[in-house]
Amino acid sequence: MNRPSPIVSLQNIGLRYGKGREVLRDINLDLEPGSFHFLTGPSGAGKTSLLRLLFLTKKPTRGLISMFGKDMATLSRRNMPKIRRRIGVVFQDFRLLDHLTTYENIALPLRVAGQKPKDYRDNVVELLNWVGLADYADVYPPVLSGGEKQRVAIARAVITQPDLLLADEPTGNVDPAMALRLLRLFAELNKFGTTIVIATHDSHLIAKANRPVLLLNDGQLDYN
């Protein structure tokens, strides 16, 4: 049986900031559609840098990145939004828009994609309920706690049911019960075909999920 072509392929990737040493070295990685990986490693190992490459806010200093069958080095700027709409991102620092309500923050990817409010209202409301923020729909992020902000960020990342979900410490600010609940949400999404990469230090979460782990150590990647 033929193996499905990877949704993300990194070949001999190297990344350095300015004239400093390489923070990522010789990274080779294929993510198959529907896979679920944890990305872990000590602080400063390059997890966030690797995620930045994957959500296209950084270009590698060497090597090739291919996503959804397209070479990112030759992808035109005009076609970049189409690729980004297939990727859901959860940032460590949430990156919510403070002038939009919780509801509007979650609906943002749909609004950007050109969907009409009446078409996405039910989906957003359902997700608000799922992450336990139904009562905070009209609240602005500055008054939310860290955990609540994190849940909004996760809801915004999954609202479009992306093909690829990249999450940087998505459970860092929530209690263990909520962390498990969010893990179930990721597993649910994965069941429907979303490829998931979660960068985390949370060894309990990794153990609970029982999924393959990508271990980054001093800029180099090991499969575990």
Partner 1 sequence: MAAFKHKEPRQASGLMPRSQMPLRTLMIAMTVMCYLACLAIGALVLITRAVNDWSSDIAGEVTVQIRPTDNIKMSDKLKIIADILDKTAGVSSYKILDTKAGAKLLEPWLGNADILEQLPVPRLVAVSIDQKKLPDFDKLGAELKSQVIGASLDTHRRWQAELTRMGTSLVRLGVGVLILITVSAIALVIFASRTALDANRQVVEVLHLVGASDPFIARQVQWQFLKAGLQSGLIGVLVGMATFILLGISSGGPASSGLADASYGLLIGTLEVTSVTYLLFLLVPIVATLLCLVAARLAILRILSNAI
Does 181 bind partner 1 (CB under 8 A)? Our answer is no
39 vs 214: CA distance, rounded Å: 5
Stretch touching partner 1 by CB under 8 A, among 25-33, 119-127, 183-191, 197-205? 119-127
**Does 167 help bind partner 1 (rule: CB under 8 A)?**
no
- Report the 3 state secondary structure along 43-64: CCCCHHHHHHHHCCCCCCCEEE
Q: Which helix (H) or strand (E) holds 14?
A: strand 8-16
Q: Does 135 bind partner 1 (CB under 8 A)?
A: yes
73 part of the interface to partner 1, by CB under 8 A: no
Question: Rounded to an integer, what distance in angstroms lies between the CA atom of residue 158 and that of residue 89?
Answer: 8
Strand order in the sheet with 195-199: 87-90, 164-168, 195-199, 36-40, 213-217, 220-223
Alpha carbon of residue 39 to chain centroid: 11
Query: Residues 21 to 60: which contact partner 1 by CB under 8 A?
Result: 55-58
Q: Which stretch binds partner 1 (CB under 8 A): 4-12, 27-35, 40-48, 110-118?
A: 110-118
Question: For partner 1, how many residues bind (rule: CB under 8 A)?
Answer: 37
Q: Which is nearer to partner 1, 108 or 180 (CB)?
A: 108
Select the residue interacting with partner 1 from 1, 2, 69, 98 (CB under 8 A): 98
Closer of 157 and 206 to partner 1 (Cβ): 157
Least distance (Å) between residue 85 CB and partner 1 = 3
Give yes or no for a contact between 174 and 145, defined as CB atoms under 8 angstroms apart.
Answer: no
Instruction: Tell me: does residue 61 bind partner 1 (CB under 8 A).
Output: no
CA atoms 51, 91, 43, 223: torsion sign = negative
Min dist CB 110 to partner 1, Å, is 9
Terminal-residue alpha carbon distance, the chain: 25
Position 156 contacts partner 1 (CB under 8 A): yes
Site for partner 1 contains 95 (CB under 8 A): yes
217: Cβ contacts below 8 Å, ≥ 6 apart: 41, 42, 45
Q: Which residues bind partner 1 (CB under 8 A)?
A: 55-58, 77-78, 81-82, 84-85, 89, 95, 97-101, 103-104, 108-109, 111-113, 117-118, 121, 124-125, 128-130, 134-135, 137-138, 156
